[in-house]
Structures are given as structure tokens and as C-alpha cells.
Structure 1
Amino acid sequence: MKRWRSVKVAVVLGLVCVGLLSACGSPKSTSSAANGTRTLTDTLQHQVKVPSQPKRVIGSYLEDELVALGIKPVVQWSVKNGSGTQAYLKKQLKGVPLIDYSLPYEAVTKAQPDLILMGTSSAVANGKYAQYNKIAPTYVVKNGPKVTWRATFMDVAKAVNRTSKAKTVLRQYDQKVKQARQQLKTNGRHSVAVLWVTNNTAYMVSDKSASGALLYGDLKLGEPSLVKQVSKTATADWSAVSLEKLAKLKADDIFLVNSQKSASLFKDPLWENIKAVKQQHLYQYGDASSWQYSGPIAYSQMIEMVLKALSA
């Protein structure tokens, strides 16, 4: 989902990631050495003349990809007047001003970008693309429910002219995944689930997005039947699940993003009798962790947390 692939905004702000558009085909590019630009075709088939070496990039909710490519954006994504940010990137984004997730035109103009990257097609709908493109060249990266985080990452790299760097990042990531699999040695037998609790409601991650794609796809950990069931009808990265259903969750371990430690559901007998909870195989993380996000940095951090938990 990196993104809104963020589930946090998907729930808090109305599941904005639902219904994102995606387009097929390989972007084409031409270059112009004279003015230092390249013409690229984005996922919505816009012909975009982008700087060959962009210096001031806006990529709201694409910060993970940009940082992994060695680019520090001029502003960083936030929600609710800065109260919600990608805290797991705090060190890499130190000193970078916040911008509201809705990308107000005035704030974008003030940042003086030379390239604007959009992570969702819906962000430029209803005439918005023309408005942003007046401010700076605007490129909509590959996105949508069927687009992998790797495809998005490589498209971001193409837009900022760092494809070689992206390939190196992915090779290093794949090596990390390989080593993690060898250390875990589960081959699908050890089952896990990821839950997020906020507003006294439990949400379960889809098996094809965010941390679900990492655990079940890359690390090949076992997927409980309830996760498969919820994922079949999921319309966003995270889906609300009743305690009655969670009581039947047979995961060996649960990774919990706990955004509400005082939630009354934690005292409910149904919660207390969930297999992993009862066996004290519950690993809790706060909003500052990378569990709600995706991208090479987020996934690398999650791998380290999984290894720490399951190797203990």
C-alpha cells in the first residue's frame, strides 16, 4: 500500500486507498541533454518532462522509497496537523518540514519543488493534476491494489533517475529476506498474524499488502485460515475483525500494533482466550514502528523485529 496504502489514513480518514486507479504498460522516456530534462510517461499516461537530477522532490507517502534511494524530500507526509507522521523514518527525515497528507496547493507551492511524485491516482483526480503540474512537473507513480511495492519503488526510482541504486537496494533486501528465512526455517508451518488496535477495534492486515505481503509472501510464514478469509473480501490494507472471529484465530504468534493501550477489548474474555494471547506469544509495537507501512526501509525493520520475536 507504499501509498494511501497507509492503513492509518485508510481507517482514520475514510479508507482513501479504496478504489485507486492503476494503469498498464511500461513507462517510456526520452532525454534532452540540452536542458537537463527527461520526458517520462507516468501510470496515467501523462507525458511529464522531469529534471534529470531533481533537487527538490515532493513525494508524500513515498518517503520510504525516496530515502532508500538517497533522496531527502523537501517536505514529509503528515496527518492531523502533524500529530501523525511516519515516525519510523524520524532519523532520516530530521529537519524536513511537514505537509498535510491532502497536499494543499499553497503548501506545495511554498515548498518550491522541482518534481512532484504522486503515490495514488485518486490524489490527482477531478482536475487536480493540472493544478499540481502548474507548480512543478507532476508524475503519478504505479499504484493500486494489484501493484506491488517493488513496482512502485522501481517507478519512483525511474522518475528520479536512480534505477541503478534501486536495483542495488532490492538485491540487498532480497539477501536480507533469504537470511531471515534460513534463520526462521518455518516453511509455512509456523503461523502468524498482524493486528492493529485503535478506537477499541481490532483490524487485521490483508495477506497481499503492507506487513501481510512481507510475512506471508517474502518470509513464507504460515497464514492462518482467518487471515485468508478476511483477505478475500478486504477492500483496504486493514480490515475490522470482531472479537468473536478473533477468538478463533489459531496463529502461533501475533504481532500487535497497539495504538490504544487502554482499549477495553484487551480485558474481554474473548481476547484473553485467543490462542497466541493465552500462550503469551503476543508481541506489541507502538505507532512509531514500521508495521503499518511498506517499502524497503519499513520491511527491513519489520524483518528485524520478526527475527527478534521468533528467535527469542
Structure 2
Amino acid sequence: MYRNSKFSLSVVLLLGLTLMLTACGGEQSSAPGNGESQNSANSTSEQQKSGNSAAEQPSERRLTDAAGHEVTVPANPQRIIASYLEDHLVALGVKPVAQWSAKGGKSVQVYLQDALKDVPTIPSELPYEAVMSFQPDLIILDSAEAAGGDKYAQYSKIAPTYVVGTAQNNDWREELLVVGEVLNRSEEARKALDEYETKAREAKAKIQRQIGEASAAVLWVTSKNTYVVHEKLSSGDVLYRDLGLKVPDEVEEISATATANWNPISKEKLAELNADYLFIIKSTAITKEELQADPIWSGIPAVKDGHVYEFGADSSWLYTGIVANGKIIDDVLGSILPQ
């Protein structure tokens, strides 16, 4: 009887121990941090984080343009029309759905065609039907004049339309930053600008080491007139502000009352032009030798010393922007520095 009681007690103890081990095993297999259950928990957590991150990304932004319009801009527009602002788009790595053109599509910004050669053209006047045919999701107009009358109302029916102001038009750096903001690429715009400033600073130092405080002028020669660049606009801004070349008195005098990038220069003023270096953009078949033989030109110091450099109207010299100006710097260095 005692033996049987002892045996029964042993069975009870063994059974209790088995139950305890089974329970512990069950708790261990279902606890976080073990095997498949832990992976499932991590996956759920990552999905929640990803979902929250996506929810934090806005699908659109509200901006106020230079004309005072509140514009709802797509966060990442894909079909952009920004006529005559393509220099900035190229600098930011953005390809528009259509590019500026004139003369029935025959005239485009040639210096940008490495990036835009496959982009169809749109007339510079931006006819509504032409704009609509490209189905843009964002339109950027380069000036208030482009949005005058009922134009803005018509364009804004097609797509969100942002107007860049006149002040920005006259300062390509500011215009680049504005376009960068509209396209949600402000960081890229500032990086591109920093790289340009470094390039200009290094070029200026090379030029000053080579020719010191020499003066220079840029002339655009057509079949009917000769124009001089404004000292603070277009290629004048590059030569005088960025590269530190001296402004001739005649250029300074004309620029004082001018508002256009390029302004007519009289034959009398041309004959008096005191420029050590001359950069000529030609829109005519006249040769450099013919110009130099002309008594009006022959008295210019740059002509006397053979410091005359020619570029075609398809070069970047008639335009402005970070791409255009970078090419102008290359042209100046290639012209006046020893090869």
C-alpha cells in the first residue's frame, strides 16, 4: 500500500512537470523576437512606417507667383511647358514637353539642343490650341506680358500656370531659383548655381592674370544695324560682373538709359568705342575682314590689335541663363587665353 502511494505520487509529479514544460514552450514560440513571428512584426512595422512616409509626401503645393496668383502646383510635374525658360530646365535636369521656337519652328535655342533635340517645338506666342495639344500638367510663363489680357485665364484652364516676374527676368540667378522652387528642385538649383560661381571665379582669375584690367565689348551685327549688349544684362552681365572685364565708356553711357538686352549703337559711337577686346555676334554674311576694313571699325583698339572674336547667332551669346553663360565663359577663355 505504501509502495502504491509512492508510485502514484511520482506519476502526479511527472505529469505536472510535463504540463509546465509544454506551457513554457508555447509561450516561447509565440513571444516577439523569435523566428517567423518576429519577422512578421518587423514587416508590419516597416509597412506602417512606409505608409506614414508616403502620407507625409504632398501630392501638390500652393505657391504665389509674381502676378499674385495662388497656384496649386503638382509636386512632381511631368509635362511642363516653360517657353524661353528652357535654359533653367536643362540646368535642373528637366526635359519639357515642348520647347520655344520662332519663325515657324525654324529658330530654336541651338545651344540647348544637345538636351532638347528630341523635344517638339511650340511657337513663342504660345497659342492656346498649341499649348492644349501638349496636355501640360504645369505651365510657367517667363513674364507678366506673356500672361497679359485674358491669356492667364485661358492658360490656367489648361493647367496650373505660374508667372515669373520682370525682376526675375532681369536677374537670371533669381529666375533659376524661382524655377527651381516651382519644380520642387530648389536643392538642384542652388547646387548648379554654386558650381557656376566657382567656374566664373576661376575664369576671372585666369583672365586677370593674362590681360589685367582690359576693357571689352560685345556687338551684335545684323544686315541693318549694330547692337551693343547692356552692361548688366545677357552676355554683358557675364563679361563685366562675372569675369571682371572693364566696361567701355560708350557701353556704360548707352546702358544708363536702356532697358533692353541689346541696344542700337550709332556709327559715331561705334567709331569712338574704346574696347581692348571685341566679341562680335554675326547675323549677317559680312566677314571679319570686311568689318576691319571699314573706317568706322578700324579705329577701335581691339580691331587695331587683332583682338576681335566672332560667334554665330546660333551660339549662346544672345541668350542668358546658367547654361548659356557657362558656354560664354568657355568662349571667352578660348579666345583670349593662349592655346
Taking structure 2 as the reference length, the TM-score comes to 0.79
Which structure shows the bigger proportion of residues in helix conformation? 2
Q: Please say if residues 120 and 144 of structure 1, whose CA atoms lie closer than 8 Å, have aligned partners that are also in contact.
A: no
Corresponding position: 1:113 with 2:139: no
Q: Which moved more, 1:130-139 or 1:257-266?
A: 257-266
Hey, what's the Cα distance between the residues in 1 that align with 2:197 and 2:259?
Answer: 28
SS at 1:260's partner residue? coil
Q: Which has the larger radius of gyration?
A: 2
Hey, what's the Cα distance between the residues in 2 that align with 1:92 and 1:145?
Answer: 24
CA drift of 1:288 comes to 1.6
Structure 2 residue aligned with 1:184: 207
CA drift of 1:69 comes to 0.3
Which structure shows the bigger proportion of residues in strand conformation? 1
Structure 1 runs (4+) greater than 6 angstroms displaced? none
SS at 2:200's partner residue? helix
Hey, what's the Cα distance between the residues in 2 that align with 1:185 and 1:35?
Answer: 49
Structure 1 residue aligned with 2:110: 87
SS at 2:275's partner residue? coil
Two-structure CA RMSD over aligned residues (Å): 1.9
CA drift of 1:269 comes to 1.5
Name the aligned partner's letter for residue 162 of structure 2.
Answer: Y
Q: Which moved more, 1:32-41 or 1:297-306?
A: 32-41
SS at 1:299's partner residue? helix
In the TM superposition, what whole-angstrom CA distance separates every residue of 1:293-312 from its partner, at most 9, and x where no partner exists? 11110011000111111103
Residue 260 (structure 1) aligned to one of 276, 281, 284: 284
Hey, what's the Cα distance between the residues in 2 that align with 1:145 and 1:163?
Answer: 16
Structure 1 residue aligned with 2:221: 197
Q: Please say if residues 180 and 219 of structure 1, whose CA atoms lie closer than 8 Å, have aligned partners that are also in contact.
A: yes
Structure 2 residue aligned with 1:271: 297
Hey, what's the Cα distance between the residues in 2 that align with 1:257 and 1:240?
Answer: 14
Structure 2 residue aligned with 1:157: 180
Unaligned residue ranges in structure 1 (runs of 5+): 1-31
Residue 251 (structure 1) aligned to one of 244, 266, 275: 275
Structure 2 residue aligned with 1:6: none
Residue 318 (structure 2) aligned to one of 271, 283, 292: 292
CA drift of 1:272 comes to 2.8
Higher RCO, Cα 8 Å, sep 6+: 1
Q: 1:145 to 1:234 in 2, by over 3 A?
A: farther
CA drift of 1:143 comes to 2.6
Residue 38 (structure 1) aligned to one of 37, 40, 61: 61
Structure 1 residue aligned with 2:264: 240
Q: Please say if residues 218 and 278 of structure 2, whose CA atoms lie closer than 8 Å, have aligned partners that are also in contact.
A: yes
SS at 2:111's partner residue? helix
Corresponding position: 1:227 with 2:276: no
Give the % identical residues. Answer: 45
Unaligned residue ranges in structure 2 (runs of 5+): 1-54
Corresponding position: 1:142 with 2:165: yes
Name the aligned partner's letter for residue 265 of structure 2.
Answer: V
